[in-house]
Structure 1
Amino acid sequence: MTPSPSLRVFMLGATGTIGRATVRALVRQGHEVVCFGRASRVGRASIAPSAPEPGVTVRVGDVSDAASITRDGFKGEPFDVVVSCMASRTGTPRDAWAIDHQAHLNVLQAAQTAGVPHMVLLSAICVQKPLLAFQEAKLAFERTLIDSGLTWSIVRPTAFFKSLSGQVERVQKGKPFLVFGDGTLTSCKPISDDDLAEFLASCVTDTTRHNRVLPIGGPGNAQTPRQQGEQLFALLGREPRFKQIPVALLDVIIAVLGALGRVVPPLADKAQLARIGRYYATESMLVWDDAAQRYDASATPSTGQDTLVDFFAKRLRGDATDDRGEHAVFQ
């Protein structure tokens, strides 16, 4: 097999768990990686300027400032590809349009000026049915990237392990596993950071993944929340215990926070977060078949080898950490 050529990669979002995994994957594949981000973020990450990983350069700047991207990021140097794992941290409208859309526009414009020919974008599978501000912001940039003239690869993963691991501690403590409805309203093909990172990194040189929207999930069959809970209880050697939460409760919370948000602006953001929670409680993270008006697990591609049950086992042993941030739903 002919080895992949070594390319120069301009990396965004390298301080998140998926971003860090993608940097490692790119380096393993022989590429030179230049990471760009805010000083407040890179200083707390493993790719800190004082101790960068071999094959990695870290540059500090501001993605919200187009001039900073050019001056502090690209620095007039040639790059073969931009890889972005950058995303808004909360998903609220202001954050989403500032990061998922405008910051990416700033980077795209700088990349075009610098003559970068290719961009790999980490998006989300939920943009198939956009009901929320962050989904609209992501879609708006996707459309701009597709029309930009650059070669592009848009990766839309299903649910992340960290998004599904919030109940490990509560179940360990003897509490029931919480589900919306009966726990079978939704399903997904969970994917690990490392498996997603390998897929993203391969988009750099795999021409079959160029100029394509790429939904991707982890290995195995789709799983419902109830099945995920059953796996966790099995690892603990306990009979499954579930507590059902009616979706209508979320509707009440959204209505109350939405009304109060007209008077107290911070509560408007809380209402938006509740809407995001409701979306994930009622929509599967699988490929949407628009003709059939249903989610299709068989049409959702799989990759990698890491499974959610293995991740649960690592969490129970203390061999894996939980860095969910705003991905937390249950505490």
Structure 2
Amino acid sequence: MADSSARRVLLAGASGTIGRAAARALVDAGHHVTCVLRESASAREAAMALEGDGCAVHFADLGDTAALAERFAGSEAQVVMSCIASRSGSPRDSKRVDHDANLALLEAAEAAGADHFILLSAICVQRPKLAFQHEKLRFEARLKQSPLAQTIVRPTAFFKSLSGQVERVRAGKPFLIFGDGELTACKPISDRDLGRFLALCVTDPNKRDAILPIGGPGPAISLKEQGTMLCELAGREPAFKSVPPRMFTLASRVLGLGAPFAEWFAEKSEYARIAHYYATESMLVLDPDSGEYSDRATPEFGEDTLRAHYERLLAQGR
């Protein structure tokens, strides 16, 4: 007997780790999943894995309106889920991906008669200071005007983004912190748990026409606490080296002097601004009344913990 809750989902961004996790979760939930990938060698490799998971896979440039219309017609999608995001965060790439590509998907979905658009956004758009945040918000504003039902998911930090110092600690080097290491905190969520949460958005009526911040199992953890945990799991006494966040501000200003003359300087200046933002802003829900980030107000979901993730990474290197 067919599952009456099964829906036809068109998924964009399935070649990334979160998109891949969402694809698996959607298939596990019984949905019919069509993944649209941009043509590349890495996408071809991802396509084989996605097909092995039970997804249909097609290739199309998200800026090609005709190609997108063809994919929608072939999939008869009822739901569109977008997990695409700028990889660099540069102004040009952010406009092309975070806004323009999502807009093309939305317009194709509207034309094809889909009824629900699920967007993977980011919790940092609460306090927008960067190009990619403004582009995400610009698309969110357009999405809210759509006749389609909308679900905007704003996750906190990902395990992957907190794993860059594993090899450094394993090699005996100090864990890098900004300031005293207590400037920021987050409730990181694993790809698997976020994928499951995104899949729930397809059928849960309470997740329609909603903006949903989401983190992993709490409590919130500071950068210094991450470093302490990682060092102890590696069998070392915690050791830290502090980096002043203001160095990124200085770098951004210096590089910005060349921005009017070359795109390279504009991009590098933005990268420095991004680094300063993540060094000084928490990835938690922002309390509109107090203007402070709130551990308590940040919803939690899932089972995977950062500690278990670090343990797995350390074990892989032994």
Global fold match (TM > 0.5): yes
Shift of 1:14: 0.3
Shift of 1:38: 1.0
> Residue 91 of structure 1 aligns with which residue?
89
8 Å CA contact 1:15–1:41 kept in 2: the answer is no
The 3-state SS of whatever aligns with 1:75 is helix
Matched, 1:66 2:65: yes
Question: 1:141 and 1:232, CA in 2 relative to 1: closer, same or farther beyond 3 A?
Answer: same
Question: Is the contact made by 2:119 and 2:151 (CA closer than 8 Å) also made in structure 1?
Answer: yes
In the TM superposition, residue 53 of structure 1 has moved relative to its aligned partner by: 2.1
Structure 1 residue 42, shift from structure 2 partner:
5.7
Partner of 2:25: 25
Structure 1 unaligned runs (5+)?
Answer: 320-331
1:44 Cα offset (Å)? 4.3
CA drift of 1:79 comes to 1.4
Q: Deviations over 1:221-278 (max 9, x none)?
A: 0000000000001101211000001112111111111113333431210110111111
Structure 2 partner of 1:36: 36
1:54 deviates by: 4.5
1:327 corresponding residue in structure 2: none
What is the match of residue 325 of structure 1? Answer: none
Aligned residues: 315
Structure 2: runs of 5 or more not aligned: none
Of stretches 74-83 and 163-172 in structure 1, the one that deviates more from structure 2 is: 74-83
Counterpart contact for 2:246–2:276, Cα < 8 Å = no
User: What's the offset of the Cα at 1:43?
Assistant: 3.3
Partner of 2:51: 52
CA distance in 1, matches of 2:81, 2:249: 37
**1:59-97 Cα shifts (integer Å, max 9, x gaps):** 0110012222112x2135521100110111111111111
User: How much does 1:315 deviate?
Assistant: 0.6
Q: Which residue identity does 2:81 align to in structure 1? A: V
CA pair 4-160 structure 1, distance change in 2 beyond 3 A: farther
2:55 alignment partner AA: V
Deviations 1:272-313 (A, max 9, x none): 011111101000000001211100110000000101111111
Residue aligning to 2:15: 15
DSSP-derived class of the 2:57 partner: strand
Aligned positions of 1:127-166 closer than 5 A: 127-166=125-164
User: What TM-score do you get using the length of structure 1 for normalisation?
Assistant: 0.92
Maintained 8 Å contact 2:151/2:212: yes
Q: Which residue of 1 aligns with 2:278?
A: 280
Letter in 2 for 1:314: R
- Map residues 83-232 of structure 1 onto 2, 5 A cutoff: 83-232=81-230
> What is the SS of the residue equivalent to 2:216?
coil
For the Cα contact (< 8 Å) 2:8–2:75, is it kept in 1? no
Task: Quote the offset at 1:4 in angstroms.
Answer: 6.6
SS class of match (2:242): strand
Alpha-carbon distance between aligned partners in 2 of 1:131 and 1:168, rounded to the nearest angstrom: 29
Contact 2:156/2:283 (<8 A) preserved: yes
Q: Is 1:31–1:55's contact at 8 Å kept on the other side of the alignment?
A: no
Deviations 1:99-130 (A, max 9, x none): 11011111111101100000111000000011
Work out the CA distance in 1 between the residues paired with 2:258 and 2:100. Answer: 29
Identity %: 51
CA distance in 2, matches of 1:54, 1:235: 33
SS in 2 for 1:201: helix
Q: What amino acid sits opposite 2:232 in the alignment?
A: A
Give 1:64's aligned amino acid. Answer: G
Partner Cα separation in structure 2 for residue 242 and residue 42 of structure 1: 36
Find the residue that maps to 2:279 and give its secondary structure: helix
Deviates further, 233-242 or 73-82 = 73-82
Q: Tell me how far 1:219 sits from its aligned partner.
A: 0.3
| Structural RMSD (CA) | 1.5
Question: CA–CA distance in 2 between the matches of 1:305 and 1:289?
Answer: 25
Write the letter of the residue equivalent to 2:23: V
